[in-house]
């Protein structure tokens, strides 16, 4: 076989001279390759060995006869005389490098990290320190949406080596060139942010890039405990197939092998973490050690101002009409925990800790090795690559459909009556879809074509109203949305947005309608829930429709559904309200006599039942939620991680300690005394006719009000008084 692929016919040879050296190469060989084959270096930025040349950078310029030419695209000719280092060539090459440096941030990220930016090294060799040409102001900027790769478009020289690495080597077809002139750049898919594109973070573009335009986002200063894993060993695992070995080498401490003996605690609920675990061998138990109980206040029976004893009450002893009948507790794993016995088992090939790793939320459960275990522990940049890897995604998808879809559907109370046969039908039709933070899943006003279940992360549901968007809910694992449009054949009534890294289960509209036809009881429940949501939203809209919110919106008061206000003209600062609150709740006050001021009123620090309840964001087990009436409540499976208290911008959630006796997670069967905490917020003293703080005020200065109604009336009075 001849070099050009034709059998039996030798390729004609071309004789030429390069820098005084006579060389012979097959016909069709470029000057650049002819020089390289014979050990004569020609600098270049856009061309690499075994690539199809494109002649973009022109730094490989040479004298070919009487003319200058880009050696990577000019073919060698018989008798050609080539010179690569004449004064003219060196001068032109220096000018080209100087022009590229005028648009290049120096030192770029690659030069700062490893000192091997090819452009800056070439500039140093050419003696280019301060380019004569002014830097152009371009609109490209940086793209930090990817967890694995940092994108700096300002450092891009449009060499297209990343495009060829993505297309010709990895066959992913994500990158392309966009724009013209100074607006030209590299685009991901249809000019999406890299993190939102179909990029699988294989790292080939980063390895191909000659500058700091594409660099590794290793977690600086982080070294996981455990045995470092050789990249070749990782590449031998199916889940790392097609991942860049260079990327794994650069992140050698971001994925480690961990070994645990049977009985070892791997992670504890409520602890903050930044890693996920993938089980290679062995089995683990996943469970909740916190007691499943509400924080309940009990009247001592000695008058209204009597002390209320706070205690933990099981659901059977504290029936709450607002609580859903949830058979499963959502956790950060491929399974949910049964409410009556919150424990499950995970085995080889399963992943846990995704939400903790990707979004830095607290651990949702305690994990203990059931047998001797070997697993990979990884940081979020490595997990992001694995989640984008087709082989790994297929494995997780199969595991979810086989093990978790059943319990996930049944964890939604209105879907609990689905039969195994219909769930088997859904296994073949549902789709797992991922969304990046801030990405819109469905938009208000659009036609509804799907029903969604939240599998991972948090979804913000908001409705556009005069004066701004109203956050209706934050949905965690077990939540659902999209049913109102499908039930009524109407447009979407709200916008649903990924708050963090979100994965949803998409059920097509036709399968949703088939479910309603086969299960009339589910239709009735969904219609009743939808009607309740619509009516609640309508009532809220009527309350705020005519309120001149601009006068107090900047105070944050319109974010509230219920406020404790103090009339400062009547208040004598006696602190009876604060003491009454503390006395009513075991010394843990849920009220602070400080806060925002509007007119003569002080808005005390007490739960506001916010329009945008940030306390709901990040609860790892979904125990804090909001009813359709917009009241924020805390469910009995709260694990006391404190995430809601940290998120509340008004300091209105407290962590209440309780002494409990429980099983020792380290030594099963042994009981130990410990202290567990539960999140508490103002409950309006539900055991009494009115809140203790309001009742205790001797000057009638404390009041609980609905802000749209109260402030609308106040402003109306002020307006009337001014007219009079």
Domains of the chain (ranges, CATH numbers): 13-126 (3.10.20.740), 551-723 (no CATH)
* Alpha helices, H only, 612-661: 643-647
Element (H, E) at 674: strand 671-681
- The answer on pLDDT for 251 being more than 90 is no
**pLDDT tens, position by position, 676-690:** 888 887 766 655 666
Residue 397 is predicted with a pLDDT of 81
pLDDT tier for residue 284 given thresholds of 50, 70 and 90: very high
What does the alpha-carbon distance between residue 483 and residue 475 come to, in Å, rounded to a whole number?
14
pLDDT tier for residue 17 given thresholds of 50, 70 and 90: very high
- The answer on pLDDT for 340 being more than 80 is yes
* Range of lowest pLDDT (24-28, 29-33, 337-341): 337-341
* Range of lowest pLDDT (263-277, 365-379, 588-602): 588-602
pLDDT tier for residue 529 given thresholds of 50, 70 and 90: confident
- Beta-carbon neighbour count of residue 689 at 10 Å? 8
Most confident of 190-194, 531-535, 563-567: 190-194
With CA atoms as reference, report the closest residue to 668 among 373, 260, 262, 259.
Answer: 262
Contact yes or no for 697/576 (Cβ under 8 A): yes
Work out the average pLDDT over 76-86: 91
Give phi and psi for 398, each to the nearest 5: -65, -40
Residue 239 is predicted with a pLDDT of 79
Most confident of 189-198, 581-590, 651-660: 189-198
pLDDT tier for residue 596 given thresholds of 50, 70 and 90: low
- The answer on pLDDT for 393 being more than 70 is yes
Between 124 and 134, where is the model more confident?
124
Contact yes or no for 557/565 (Cβ under 8 A): no
What does the alpha-carbon distance between residue 647 and residue 482 come to, in Å, rounded to a whole number?
27
**pLDDT tens, position by position, 148-191:** 788 998 889 888 888 888 888 778 889 998 888 777 889 998 88
Q: What is the mean pLDDT of the chain?
A: 79
pLDDT tier for residue 508 given thresholds of 50, 70 and 90: very high
Residue 511 is predicted with a pLDDT of 93
What does the alpha-carbon distance between residue 585 and residue 313 come to, in Å, rounded to a whole number?
15
* Alpha helices, H only, 545-563: none
Pairing type for strands 495-498 and 702-705 reads unpaired
pLDDT tier for residue 133 given thresholds of 50, 70 and 90: confident
Burial class (CB in 10 A: 0-12, 13-18, 19+), 2: exposed
Residue 476 is predicted with a pLDDT of 82
Give me the count of residues in the chain: 724
What does the alpha-carbon distance between residue 330 and residue 16 come to, in Å, rounded to a whole number?
73
Work out the average pLDDT over 663-667: 66
pLDDT tier for residue 201 given thresholds of 50, 70 and 90: confident
Between 414 and 371, where is the model more confident?
371
Contact yes or no for 610/560 (Cβ under 8 A): yes
Work out the average pLDDT over 82-110: 89
pLDDT tier for residue 81 given thresholds of 50, 70 and 90: very high
Residue 698 is predicted with a pLDDT of 81
- The answer on pLDDT for 543 being more than 60 is no
Residue 341 is predicted with a pLDDT of 86
Residue 365 is predicted with a pLDDT of 92
**pLDDT tens, position by position, 603-662:** 766 666 666 677 878 888 888 876 655 567 788 888 888 888 888 776 678 787 888 777
Chain-centre distance of CA 276, in angstroms? 14
With CA atoms as reference, report the closest residue to 528 among 494, 487, 472, 475.
Answer: 487
Residue 451 is predicted with a pLDDT of 93
Count Cα atoms within 13 angstroms, Cβ side, for 197.
Answer: 23
Give phi and psi for 722, each to the nearest 5: -70, -35
pLDDT tier for residue 265 given thresholds of 50, 70 and 90: very high
pLDDT tier for residue 411 given thresholds of 50, 70 and 90: confident
pLDDT tier for residue 375 given thresholds of 50, 70 and 90: very high
Pairing type for strands 328-329 and 337-338 reads antiparallel
**pLDDT tens, position by position, 446-462:** 998 999 999 888 898 88
State percent of the chain over pLDDT 90.
Answer: 14
Count Cα atoms within 13 angstroms, Cβ side, for 396.
Answer: 25
- Beta-carbon neighbour count of residue 724 at 10 Å? 5
Residue 324 is predicted with a pLDDT of 52
Long-range contact set of residues 523-532: C-beta below 8 Å, sequence gap at least 24? 523/487, 525/413, 525/414, 526/414, 526/483, 526/487, 527/487, 529/414, 529/483, 529/628, 530/483, 530/484, 530/487, 530/488, 532/628
Residue 137 is predicted with a pLDDT of 54
With CA atoms as reference, report the closest residue to 255 among 280, 272, 282, 281.
Answer: 280
Residue 367 is predicted with a pLDDT of 94
Helix, strand, coil shares, percent, the chain, to 5? 30, 25, 45
Residue 564 is predicted with a pLDDT of 75
Work out the average pLDDT over 79-89: 91
What does the alpha-carbon distance between residue 255 and residue 243 come to, in Å, rounded to a whole number?
13
Work out the average pLDDT over 432-452: 88
Work out the average pLDDT over 580-602: 67
DSSP letter, residue 72: T
Cα–Cα distances (Å) from 585 to 565, 582, 654, 685, in that order, read 20, 5, 11, 9
- Structure tokens given for 280: 């290679």
pLDDT tier for residue 722 given thresholds of 50, 70 and 90: very low
Cα–Cα distances (Å) from 290 to 262, 366, 657, 658, 662, in that order, read 22, 10, 12, 11, 9
Residue 427 is predicted with a pLDDT of 87
Q: Tell whether the torsion through CA atoms of 151, 152, 156 and 158 is positive or negative.
A: positive
Residue 514 is predicted with a pLDDT of 93
Residue 111 is predicted with a pLDDT of 85
Work out the average pLDDT over 360-378: 92
- Structure tokens given for 35: 């020089």
Residue 586 is predicted with a pLDDT of 61
State yes or no: cis peptide before 107, omega within 30 of 0.
Answer: yes
CB proximity list for 636: less than 8 A, separation 6 or greater: 292, 293, 294, 314, 315, 318, 323, 623
Work out the average pLDDT over 329-348: 87
E strand intervals along 52-143: 61-64, 67-70, 81-83, 142-143
What does the alpha-carbon distance between residue 188 and residue 720 come to, in Å, rounded to a whole number?
59
What does the alpha-carbon distance between residue 7 and residue 328 come to, in Å, rounded to a whole number?
68
With CA atoms as reference, report the closest residue to 156 among 201, 114, 190, 109.
Answer: 109
Contact yes or no for 159/165 (Cβ under 8 A): no
- The answer on pLDDT for 263 being more than 70 is yes
Residue 224 is predicted with a pLDDT of 77
* Range of lowest pLDDT (19-23, 154-158, 433-437): 433-437
Most confident of 115-119, 243-247, 515-519: 515-519
């Amino acid at each position: 076989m001849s070099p050009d692929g034709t059998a039996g016919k030798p390729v004609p040879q071309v004789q030429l001279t390069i820098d005084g050296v006579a060389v012979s190469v097959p016909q069709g060989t470029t000057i650049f390759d002819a020089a390289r084959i014979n050990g004569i270096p020609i600098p270049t930025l856009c061309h690499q060995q075994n690539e199809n040349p494109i002649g973009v950078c022109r730094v490989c310029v040479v004298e070919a006869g009487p003319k200058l030419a880009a050696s990577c695209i000019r073919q060698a000719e018989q008798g050609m005389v080539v010179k690569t280092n004449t004064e003219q060539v060196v001068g032109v090459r220096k000018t080209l490098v100087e022009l590229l440096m005028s648009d290049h941030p120096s030192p770029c990220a690659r030069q700062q990290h490893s000192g091997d930016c090819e452009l800056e090294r070439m500039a140093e060799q050419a003696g280019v320190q301060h380019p004569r040409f002014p830097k152009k102001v371009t609109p490209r900027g940086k793209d930090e949406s990817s967890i694995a790769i940092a994108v700096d478009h300002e450092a891009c020289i449009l060499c297209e080596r990343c495009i060829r690495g993505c297309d010709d080597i990895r066959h992913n077809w994500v990158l392309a060139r966009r724009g013209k002139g100074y607006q030209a750049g590299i685009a991901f898919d249809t000019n999406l942010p890299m993190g939102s594109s179909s990029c699988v973070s294989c790292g080939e573009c980063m390895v191909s890039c000659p500058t700091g335009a594409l660099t590794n986002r290793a977690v600086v200063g982080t070294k996981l405990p455990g045995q470092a894993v050789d990249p070749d060993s990782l590449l031998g695992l199916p889940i790392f197939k097609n991942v860049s070995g260079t990327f794994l080498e650069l992140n050698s401490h971001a994925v480690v092998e961990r070994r645990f003996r049977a009985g070892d605690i791997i992670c504890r609920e409520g602890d903050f973490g930044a890693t996920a675990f993938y089980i290679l061998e062995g089995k683990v138990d996943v469970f909740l050690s916190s007691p499943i109980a509400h924080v309940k206040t009990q009247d001592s029976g000695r008058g209204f101002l009597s002390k209320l004893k706070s205690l933990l009450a099981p659901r059977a002893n504290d029936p709450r009409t607002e609580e859903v009948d949830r058979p499963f507790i959502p956790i950060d794993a491929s399974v949910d925990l049964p409410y009556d016995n919150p424990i499950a088992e995970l085995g080889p090939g399963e992943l846990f800790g995704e939400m903790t790793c990707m979004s830095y939320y607290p651990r949702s459960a305690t994990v203990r090795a059931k047998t001797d275990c070997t697993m990979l522990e990884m940081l979020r940049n490595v997990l992001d690559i694995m989640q984008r890897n087709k082989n790994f995604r297929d494995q997780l998808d199969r595991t979810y459909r086989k093990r978790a879809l059943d319990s996930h559907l049944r964890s939604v109370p209105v879907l609990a009556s689905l039969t195994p046969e219909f769930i088997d039908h859904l296994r073949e039709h549902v789709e797992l879809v991922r969304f990046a933070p801030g990405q819109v899943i469905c938009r208000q006003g659009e036609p509804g074509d799907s029903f969604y279940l939240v599998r991972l992360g948090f979804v913000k549901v908001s409705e556009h109203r005069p004066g701004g968007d109203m956050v209706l809910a934050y949905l965690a694992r077990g939540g659902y949305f999209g049913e109102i449009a499908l039930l009524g054949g109407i447009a979407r009534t709200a916008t649903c947005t990924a708050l963090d890294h979100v994965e949803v289960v998409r059920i097509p509209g036709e399968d949703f309608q088939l479910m309603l036809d086969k299960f009339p009881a589910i239709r009735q429940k969904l219609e009743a829930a939808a009607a309740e949501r619509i009516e609640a939203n309508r009532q809220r809209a009527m309350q705020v429709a005519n309120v001149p919110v601009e006068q107090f919106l900047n105070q944050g008061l319109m974010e509230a559904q219920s406020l404790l206000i103090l009339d400062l003209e009547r208040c004598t600062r006696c602190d009876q309200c604060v003491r009454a609150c503390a006395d009513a709740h075991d010394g843990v006050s849920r009220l602070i006599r400080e806060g925002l001021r509007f007119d003569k009123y002080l808005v005390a620090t007490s739960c506001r039942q916010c329009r945008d309840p940030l306390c709901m964001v990040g609860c790892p087990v979904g125990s804090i939620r909001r009813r359709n009436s917009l009241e924020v409540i805390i469910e009995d499976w709260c694990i006391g991680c404190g995430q809601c208290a940290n998120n509340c911008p008004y300091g209105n959630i407290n962590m209440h300690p309780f002494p409990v006796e429980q099983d020792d997670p380290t030594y099963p069967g042994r009981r130990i005394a410990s202290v567990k905490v539960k999140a508490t917020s103002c409950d309006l003293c539900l055991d009494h006719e009115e809140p203790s703080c309001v009742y205790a005020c001797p000057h009638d200065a404390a009041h609980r009000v609905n802000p749209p109604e109260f402030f609308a009336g106040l402003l109306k009075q002020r307006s009337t008084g001014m007219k009079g």
